[in-house]
Structure formats: structure tokens, C-alpha cells
Amino acid sequence: MLCDLHIHTSYSYDGLDSPQKIVKTALSRNLNCICITDHNETKGAVEALHFAFDKSILIIPGIEIKSKEGDILGINVKEKIENNLSAKETIKKIEKLGGVAVFAHPFGFLCNFKGSLKQLIDDYRDLGLGIEVLNASVVGNGNKKALDFAQKSNLFYTAGSDAHSAKFVGKVYLEIKKDNLSEDEVLEEIKKRNVSFGGKSGDFLEKINDHLKRSFAKLNHLQK
């Protein structure tokens, strides 16, 4: 299974394309599983689930929450979680809702995790924390730093395009060498680290162009 576990739709304040277009694009690129992780919103995931119910793709609901220290993905979360809580509070809420907490682009340029990641992991290791080590929109060596940190800290890891438009969907992905898994089974394979990576991040100019498009989308959202 090819899984892109970090995707935004037009329900994100900086997202461009509808959940329907995201699902169609994922199917056209032979992805078997995607996680919709809109900023502080789950409506996009619900819409994608309804649209894809008769299609050969697994949709995992999710959310991206902006904690005080940095962004955290709630994988398999079906309810909104408010922004601006501490990272500890955010992790606890994700766990309470039956989700899996994953630190998003923790070493990304301008979007890095600002708290003590090591201390947080030591305090909450029993909750099964993960880290995103391959993000197609990260500029610089943030992905390499994340992978090194995950390996040293003995964490499981994920990969995602961080697509804010259909164009970026599936740029990178996580590969699981099993077919037709449920969302719980996908997460179990990830926790066991029975995964590999695939795809290729965009070049520098492509990433900058993508971030500019996000900024324009954000401006349009603010003007509504």
C-alpha cells in the first residue's frame, strides 16, 4: 500500500482544492491510502470519506493542530481539537480521541518544533508518539534531521506530501508491503516500522511556488 499521510483540502485556511479533487488525484496516482489533515478542521476528512466510500482507496481522517510549541498531526482523529494548547495537552487530547500523535515537519524551516522534543517524547513515550520524517514541502535538510532524530529516539515515523493542492498529492509516500489493510492495521504496521519510503520531493523553486500559493489561499480565506 502506498500511503500519503499529510494532505490538506480547501477546508484548511491555506488549502486550494476540494476533498473530491484530492481523492480523484490520489486514485490517479495509484495511492492506496491518504490521511486528510486539515488545519484545525475535520470537515474535509468527512467529505472525502463520503466521496470515496465506493472507491478503492482508504481514507483515514485526521487533523493538524497548532500547539504552542509546534504542529502536531492527529492521525485517525474524527473530532476538532483546538489550537494553542500546549503540546502535552494536544497529545493527550489526540490519545483520548483514539488517534495517534505525530510531530509534523519538526525540523522544517520556519515551521519547526520550538519546544524540547526530546523531553516531550521521554514524558509521553507510553502513548506511542511518531514523527514525520519525509515531508515533500520541507526546504533544506529538515527531513534528514527528523529521520536521524527518529532513529536515535526509537520512534516510529510517517511520510506525507503536506499537499495544499492536488498537484502535490503523492509527491512522497509511505509504502507498506501488504494490501487491503484497514486504518487500524495501517497504523499497526507503522508502529512496528514495517514501512519504507517512496516518491520525490519537489525542487526548491517548486516548493517556494507551492508556499506562495498557500499564502494567496490564506489571503483569500481572510477576505471571505
- Alpha carbon separation from 174 to 90, 134, 198 (Å, rounded): 25, 9, 6
For residue 18, the SS3 value is coil
**Residue 35 pLDDT > 80, yes or no?**
yes
Residue 222 has a pLDDT of 64
Model confidence pLDDT, tens digit, residues 95-127: 999 999 999 999 987 778 887 788 888 887 777
Say what the pLDDT of residue 169 is.
97
Spatial CB neighbours of 169, under 8 Å, sequence gap ≥ 6: 4, 7, 22, 25, 26, 29, 31, 34, 161, 163
Flag whether pLDDT at 209 surpasses 80.
no
List, in order of start, the domains of the chain with CATH numbers. 2-223 (3.20.20.140)
Please say if the pLDDT value at position 51 is more than 90: yes
3-state secondary structure of 85: coil
Q: Is the full-model pTM beyond 0.85?
A: yes
Instruction: Determine the average pLDDT of the residues in 67-73.
Output: 95
Helix, strand, coil % over all residues of the chain, rounded to 5: 40, 20, 40
What confidence tens digit (pLDDT) does each residue in 133-186 have? 999 989 889 999 999 999 999 899 999 999 999 999 999 999 999 999 999 999
